[in-house]
Amino acid sequence: MTELQFPEGFVWGAATAAYQIEGGAHEGGRGESIWDRFSHTPGKVSHGDTGDVACDHFHRYAGDVAMMRELGLGAYRFSVAWPRVQPSGKGPPHPAGLDFYSRLVDALLEAGIAPMATLYHWDLPQALQDEGGFASRDVAGWFADYAGVVARALGDRLRWIVTLNEPQIFGLFGYVVGTHAPGVQDFVGYPRVAHHINLAHGEAVRAVRAERARLPVGIAMQTPPMHPRSASAEDAAAARRFDAFFNRYFLDPVLLGAYPPELLELLSPLGVRYPEEDLAVIAQPLDFVGVNNYTRYFVRHHPETPLLEALADEHHRIDGARYTDMGWEIRPDALGEVLDRLRADYGNPVVYVTENGAAFADPVADGQVHDADRVAFLRGYLARLHRAIADGARVRGYFVWSWLDNFEWAHGYSKRFGLVHVDYPTQRRTPKDSARWYAEVARRNALSP
Ligand code: FCB
């Protein structure tokens, strides 16, 4: 293998999200979020873990940025906690909340690290959930106001802004499956939720542009390839259906301005109809699409629970494959398929891979973490990404999930995704071997053999 050189100016970054790392849950006037409520509800998160302290990044951000600089990170994707900025989700911004992000952004710029801010990485103000959350159409207006506030306060210094992180995941797992906040289980209500998510995205893009016309805006999608579990025609049809329900529910309206006919047919027994005017709002032209990818899904035909059964097969194991600590199959071609699809079916948008990475056990020994499995994972996915670019995909950058080990939602602190190890009792940070390896890739802008 020869060295794989990446295009000039390719961005090398890492990502986190507010609730997963910040802590400081009751500081600076921060309001309650649905993830505070959910994680404090017994039985929802493994070991009863919460984000109250997490990586204490709220207090340690300056040291964290200094470490990013030392390790040569080119860009950093973080998220803004809506309940820090608007504690009850509405009304005038809370200065202390905005100030935290303003200081973070300044520290990043001073360190030569390009900031990418995600507006919504799942921590909805609880007060808005009490009014229905994404089940209420009002969420589009609430979110647009908040987006405008953040764009006004930080938009002069951000390099990119992302509206929503993974509509697919927080929509379905938060409002149908119930394993993520707010823990609602309402299949029949989902078509409204999904549409309001799309609408909130479109309104937020408009609000950001009204404040900062030149700030690049995108959305981060997790749209894994849906593979049939067997060669049967039923499974193939089920995989296409689930692809429409899970992936195209968001990809198509946002990028093509229409819901897929297969999906509308699936939803027609529920009496779902979407106003045409909404689609014009949803399909705002974007500057880039964020791709979050970890693996593929398997789908099996199941007559009684046609759509949800597909999720049960997420952890289907196959002989000869390797898996991460999440039980996710290591499959670089999953990322490749997503990138190829955006190029072929969605007009070849500019793309940033906004999340990709792996959880492994990562023990610390003598102050070091030899995470060869993570290095191998990243190498495999980056090589496949390189090929997608050679095939014509317009990928401009890549962000590892994650910069730090952190609160992995319903798994709590039991899963470690970081390039940097966190010892939670002492908050000691230890860069893993993968952090140094990644720094070298970034420095050379190339993957060595
Ligand atoms: C994604 C989330 C991110 C992290 C990774 C492992 O779905 O966006 O916050 O939990 O999975």
pLDDT tens by residue, 78-103 = 999 999 999 999 999 999 999 999 99
How confident is the model at residue 316, as a pLDDT?
80
| Residue 17 beta carbon below 6 angstroms from any ligand 1 atom | yes
Identify the structural domains of the chain with CATH numbers, from first to last: 4-447 (3.20.20.80)
E strands, 129-216, in order: 160-165
| Residue 22 beta carbon below 6 angstroms from any ligand 1 atom | no
CA distance 342 to 385: 13
Residue 270 has pLDDT above 90, yes or no: no
How confident is the model at residue 305, as a pLDDT?
72
CA-to-CA separations, 156 to 109, 114, 430, in angstroms, rounded: 12, 12, 33
Residue with tokens 């119930």: 178
| Cα atoms in the Cβ-side hemisphere of radius 13 Å centred on 247 | 23
| Residue 329 beta carbon below 6 angstroms from any ligand 1 atom | no
pLDDT tens by residue, 434-449 = 999 999 999 999 999 8
Taking residues 340-365, what's their average pLDDT?
98
Q: Output the six-digit token pair for 125.
A: 């103000």
How confident is the model at residue 312, as a pLDDT?
65
CA distance 108 to 104: 6
Q: Percent of the chain scored above 90 by pLDDT? A: 94
Best probe residue, ligand 1, of 164, 324, 408 (max atoms within 8 Å of C-beta): 408
pLDDT tens by residue, 287-298 = 999 999 999 999
Taking residues 320-344, what's their average pLDDT?
97
Annotated active-site residue in 22, 166, 203, 329: 166
CA distance 333 to 386: 12
How confident is the model at residue 68, as a pLDDT?
98
pLDDT band at residue 39 using 50, 70 and 90 as cut-offs: very high
Pairing relationship of beta strands 288-292 and 297-299 according to DSSP bridges: unpaired
Taking residues 252-261, what's their average pLDDT?
98
| Residue 403 beta carbon below 6 angstroms from any ligand 1 atom | no
Q: Output the six-digit token pair for 280.
A: 């014009």
Element containing residue 400 per DSSP (H, E): strand 394-401
Q: Output the six-digit token pair for 441.
A: 């890739």
Please name the residue whose Cα sits nearest to atom 10 of ligand 1.
408
How confident is the model at residue 362, as a pLDDT?
94
Which amino acid is present at 3? E
The percent helix, strand, coil of the chain (3-state, each to 5) is 45, 15, 40
Q: Output the six-digit token pair for 161.
A: 């802004």
CA of 179 to the centre of ligand 1 (A): 14
pLDDT tens by residue, 159-168 = 999 999 999 9
Residue 1 has pLDDT above 70, yes or no: no
CA of 84 to the centre of ligand 1 (A): 21
Are residues 213 and 152 in contact, defined by beta-carbon separation less than 8 angstroms?
Answer: no
Best probe residue, ligand 1, of 122, 330, 381, 409 (max atoms within 8 Å of C-beta): 409
Annotated active-site residue in 32, 329, 355, 408: 355
CA of 2 to the centre of ligand 1 (A): 32
CA distance 276 to 259: 10
Are residues 66 and 14 in contact, defined by beta-carbon separation less than 8 angstroms?
Answer: no
Please name the residue whose Cα sits nearest to atom 4 of ligand 1.
408
Q: Output the six-digit token pair for 82.
A: 């809506």
Are residues 69 and 14 in contact, defined by beta-carbon separation less than 8 angstroms?
Answer: no
Please work out, in degrees rounded to the nearest 5, the angle formed at the alpha carbon of residue 51 by the alpha carbons of 126 and 402.
115
Residue 314 has pLDDT above 70, yes or no: no
Q: Three-state SS for 117?
A: strand
Which amino acid is present at 156? D
Are residues 401 and 356 in contact, defined by beta-carbon separation less than 8 angstroms?
Answer: yes
- What is the chain's mean pLDDT, rounded? 96
Cα end-to-end distance, the chain, whole Å: 5
How confident is the model at residue 79, as a pLDDT?
99
Residue 426 has pLDDT above 80, yes or no: yes
CA of 165 to the centre of ligand 1 (A): 9
Taking residues 376-396, what's their average pLDDT?
98
Would residue 355 show up in a list of annotated catalytic residues for this protein? yes
